[in-house]
């Protein structure tokens, strides 16, 4: 009896908000949002449900916290390896989000929910701040900061979320489907389209088969950045004090 009491006390001492969130992320990665239950979490952490609620609150709050934690890690950059230009910094942030969503399939849905329902929460703020600072550093006129930043954020998240839905672990693709085989089948289907009705789709069929998701993603970033800098040349407002 005394031994069980000491073990229970040690568990309470080692349990923390961080360890709960870490376990929640592991459950989400393994089984998706449906796999994150209080019962599964208490079993993994060898604790009671009261301790979970004490540290993180409700299941919804735990989902938010897990999302915040993963996105914060994706946005973090090493000061010793800071990119040379605002464009490079934007690419680093974009790839961080791309890789995070590809690794954590559940993140796509949670990001969409937080961005649309609670744009004042840390996830949205962190993403917009990371991109927006670089838009300002590019010298884009202040009146265009919101539009330019929104365009980049919408492209980054739209492309990463779409990629997550068709990736190797995505819920919309059968688990035994090989990516190369899938693209090959799609390419063949495009090549067999009616040439009068779909001349463009037939022309790009081979490019679609051979494309690299990350390279295509970065090419899109460059297209958006080129449009922003051409439409909004620097005006010297980049370092205006707030």
pLDDT tens by residue, 201-234? 999 998 888 888 888 899 999 999 999 999 888 7
Mean pLDDT value across residues 99-124: 86
142/55 Cα distance (integer angstroms): 41
CATH number of 2-57: 1.10.10.60
Can you give the pTM of this predicted structure? 0.77
- Per residue in 137-163, pLDDT tens? 999 999 999 999 999 999 998 888 887
152/128 Cα distance (integer angstroms): 9
Cβ pair 30, 40 in contact under 8 A: no
What is the CB-side half-sphere exposure of residue 173 using CA atoms within 13 A? Answer: 18
Q: CATH topology for 83-231?
A: Tetracycline Repressor; domain 2 (1.10.357)
Work out whether the CA dihedral 29, 33, 34, 40 comes out positive or negative. positive
Cβ pair 205, 183 in contact under 8 A: no
Q: Coil, strand, or helix at residue 124?
A: helix
| C-alpha pair distances (Å), 178 with each of 46, 56, 185 | 38, 39, 11
Domain chopping of the chain, boundaries: 2-57, 83-231
């Amino acid at each position: 009896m005394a031994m069980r009491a000491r073990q229970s006390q040690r568990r309470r001492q080692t349990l923390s908000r961080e360890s709960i969130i870490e376990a929640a992320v592991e459950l989400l990665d393994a089984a998706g949002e449906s796999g994150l239950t209080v019962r599964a979490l208490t079993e993994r952490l060898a604790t009671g449900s009261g301790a979970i609620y004490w540290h993180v609150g409700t299941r919804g709050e735990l989902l938010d916290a897990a999302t915040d934690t993963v996105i914060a890690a994706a946005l973090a950059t090493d000061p010793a390896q800071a990119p040379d230009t605002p464009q490079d910094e934007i690419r680093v942030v974009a790839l961080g989000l791309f890789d995070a969503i590809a690794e954590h399939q559940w993140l796509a849905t949670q990001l969409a929910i937080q961005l649309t329902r609670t744009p004042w929460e840390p996830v949205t703020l962190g993403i917009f701040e990371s991109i927006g600072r670089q838009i300002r550093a590019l010298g884009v006129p202040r009146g265009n900061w919101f539009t330019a930043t929104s365009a980049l954020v919408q492209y980054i998240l739209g492309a990463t979320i779409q990629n997550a839905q068709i990736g190797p672990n995505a819920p919309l693709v059968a688990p035994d489907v090989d990516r190369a085989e899938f693209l090959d089948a799609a390419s063949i289907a495009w090549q067999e389209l009616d040439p009068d009705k779909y001349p463009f789709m037939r022309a790009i069929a081979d490019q679609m088969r051979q494309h690299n998701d990350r390279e295509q993603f970065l090419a899109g970033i460059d297209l958006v950045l080129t449009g922003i800098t051409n439409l909004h040349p620097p005006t010297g407002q980049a370092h205006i004090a707030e």
